[in-house]
Amino acid sequence: MSAVALQGRDQLPHAGRIVVKVGSSSLTTPDGHLDPQRLAAVVDVLAARRAAGTQVVLVSSGAIAAGIGPLGLPARPRDLATQQAAASVGQGLLVADYERAFAAHGLTVAQVLLTAEDTWRRGRYRNAHRALTRLLDLGVVPIINENDAVATDEIRFGDNDRLAALVSHLVHADVLALLTDVDALYTGPPSRPGSRRIAEVRAPGELDGVDVTARGSAVGTGGMVTKIESVAIATQSGIPVVLTSAAQAAAAFAGEDVGTWFAATGRRRSIRLLWLAHAARTRGRLVLDDGAVRAVVERRTSLLPAGVTAVEGAFEAGDPVELVDAAGGVVARGLVAYGSDEVPQLLGHSTGDLRDTLGPGYDRELVHRDDLVLVRRRR
Ligand SMILES: Nc1ncnc2c1ncn2[C@@H]1O[C@H](COP(=O)(O)OP(=O)(O)O)[C@@H](O)[C@H]1O
Ligand SMILES: N[C@@H](CCC(=O)OP(=O)(O)O)C(=O)O
């Protein structure tokens, strides 16, 4: 694997390992069936990359969309139970089509279904990392999707864009390719007259003023908003992203001037913090006094119980929570070290007091600084 991030799209042909995310709209028909021809066209491009020596991890959506037709549903279901049912039906059909299409190129595939926790909880992360790297070593193309049949509303990502970014981090990919139904990021929704293609984004500030909508195609989720979130996760941890359509994928992988290239802006960082910053659903809030806000934001210290004035929500030790100032503005997100039933008795007390009154073990931080990410406040 290359140790240095790819500097531009012209280096794409030299990527050693890529994660490719394909959206539902590129694989299915509007009436909720798989489109084997379009699926095979994507596979042809990926097989060509493999033949050129690149390892490929595919993150494929389409399970829910592919279950719509066979179940006779009128449209993409909105309730969780029917989404789970549709995904369970569609996932089998999806992987069967992939298996056939890759086999035509002599390639073996593996289905890997992940939940959000597999990408960030330490033991699970290592487990998923080990399984995926072994599959790659064995020459297999892993096909990843969220485990929609068991993911509840609280824990699911719901969109594969952010899952793909976390998977890129998990497998140490050189680049993430987001394939969708538009050929690039535009300055506004592509249907709006005057919207122009953005060829390259080298810093997050260049996205100021770009109008992205959450409305995706009839079968997809998240629209461009979750793709921009995905781009932030990947680029901030040193992985560049190319966003284009499935139809332009071959040209993009050849390094041609198509799609949008997002340069890496940061260095590899903890996946837990990426997840906390961009993907975690928080379970509660801790209200900080002004001194604690300054300590956490300016001095980057851990959060101690003495600086917390109130607690909201129901959470367990290890759950993600928001840290808010007295006015309710979110200043950070963190993994809390105590459950919500224990926190009230700790508030306002120094760690020394807590050790003396409640015993050793109660002198630990409420949120350790290693488990904390600051949230950029809107100006
Ligand atoms: N600024 C923008 N540039 C490009 N596409 C945009 C923009 N804003 C919104 N979109 C919409 O996002 C859609 C892609 O999202 P989605 O349907 O969720 O794709 P997928 O199923 O591939 O994940 C495009 O069809 C496009 O209409
Ligand atoms: N896991 C879901 C993915 C939903 C999703 O992210 O869809 P899309 O916006 O088309 O990438 C499925 O397979 O239907």
DSSP letter string, 204-240 = GGGGTT----S---SS-SSHHHHHHHHHHHHHHTT--
For ligand 1, whether the C-beta of 182 sits within 6 Å is: yes
For ligand 2, whether the C-beta of 184 sits within 6 Å is: no
The three-class DSSP label of residue 119 is helix
Q: Which atom of ligand 2 is nearest to the CA of 26?
A: 10
CA atoms lying within 13 Å on the CB side of residue 254: 9
Mutate to test the pocket of ligand 1, among 182, 192, 229, 242 (most ligand atoms within 8 A of CB): 182
For ligand 2, whether the C-beta of 240 sits within 6 Å is: no
Maximum Cα–Cα distance for the chain, whole Å?
70
Q: State yes or no: pLDDT of 3 exceeds 60.
A: no
For ligand 1, whether the C-beta of 142 sits within 6 Å is: no
Beta bridge partners of 241: 176, 262
From CA 188, how far away is CA 224, in angstroms rounded?
A: 10
Are β-strands 284-288 and 241-245 bridged in parallel, bridged antiparallel, or unpaired? unpaired
Average pLDDT over residues 302-308: 95
Confidence (pTM):
0.88
Mutate to test the pocket of ligand 2, among 146, 150, 176 (most ligand atoms within 8 A of CB): 146
Q: Which atom of ligand 2 is nearest to the CA of 216?
A: 9
Structure tokens at 192: 């709006």
Average pLDDT over residues 310-314: 96
Q: State yes or no: pLDDT of 214 exceeds 80.
A: no
> What pLDDT score does 215 carry?
66
> What pLDDT score does 42 carry?
98
Q: Name every residue whose Cβ is closer than 8 Å to that of residue 299 and which is 6 or more positions away in sequence.
A: none
Measure the CA dihedral 27/162/183/3, to 10°.
Answer: -110
The pLDDT-based confidence of 377 (bands split at 50, 70, 90) is: low
For ligand 2, whether the C-beta of 159 sits within 6 Å is: yes
227 annotated to a ligand binding site: yes
Q: State yes or no: pLDDT of 15 exceeds 80.
A: yes
The three-class DSSP label of residue 183 is coil
Structure tokens at 143: 């096909």
The pLDDT-based confidence of 8 (bands split at 50, 70, 90) is: very high
From CA 362, how far away is CA 320, in angstroms rounded?
A: 20
The three-class DSSP label of residue 106 is coil
Closest C-alpha among 21, 47, 22 to residue 35: 22
From CA 358, how far away is CA 352, in angstroms rounded?
A: 10
> What pLDDT score does 266 carry?
86
Per-residue pLDDT of 261-302, as tens digits, reads: 999 998 888 888 888 888 788 999 999 999 999 999 999 999
Per-residue pLDDT of 96-107, as tens digits, reads: 999 999 999 999
Q: Which residues of 118-139 are buried (b: 16+ CB within 10 A; e: fewer)?
A: bbbbeeebeebbeebbebbeee
- CA distances for 329 relative to 259, 299, 300, 378, angstroms: 37, 18, 18, 10
Q: For the chain, what is the mean pLDDT? A: 92
- Ligand 1, atom 20: nearest CA belongs to which residue? 23
The DSSP symbol for 341 reads: T
The pLDDT-based confidence of 191 (bands split at 50, 70, 90) is: confident
The amino acid occupying position 67 is G
> What pLDDT score does 362 carry?
83
The three-class DSSP label of residue 177 is strand
The residue ranges of DSSP E strands in 31-133, in sequence order, are 55-60, 109-114
Q: State yes or no: pLDDT of 249 exceeds 50.
A: yes
61 annotated to a ligand binding site: yes
Tell the residue number behind the tokens 């790297």, with chain if given: 133
- CA distances for 17 relative to 108, 293, 357, angstroms: 17, 41, 54
Among 185-189, 212-216, 224-228, the least confident range: 212-216
What is the enclosing helix (H) or strand (E) of 57?
A: strand 55-60
Closest C-alpha among 57, 63, 26, 31 to residue 42: 26
> What pLDDT score does 371 carry?
92
Q: Which atom of ligand 2 is nearest to the CA of 226?
A: 9
ipTM above 0.85, yes or no: yes
Q: Which atom of ligand 2 is nearest to the CA of 94?
A: 13
Q: State yes or no: pLDDT of 378 exceeds 90.
A: no
Percent of the chain with pLDDT over 70: 96
357 annotated to a ligand binding site: no
The amino acid occupying position 199 is A
Q: State yes or no: pLDDT of 379 exceeds 50.
A: no
> What pLDDT score does 222 carry?
64
339 annotated to a ligand binding site: no
For ligand 2, whether the C-beta of 160 sits within 6 Å is: yes
> What pLDDT score does 221 carry?
64
> What pLDDT score does 144 carry?
98
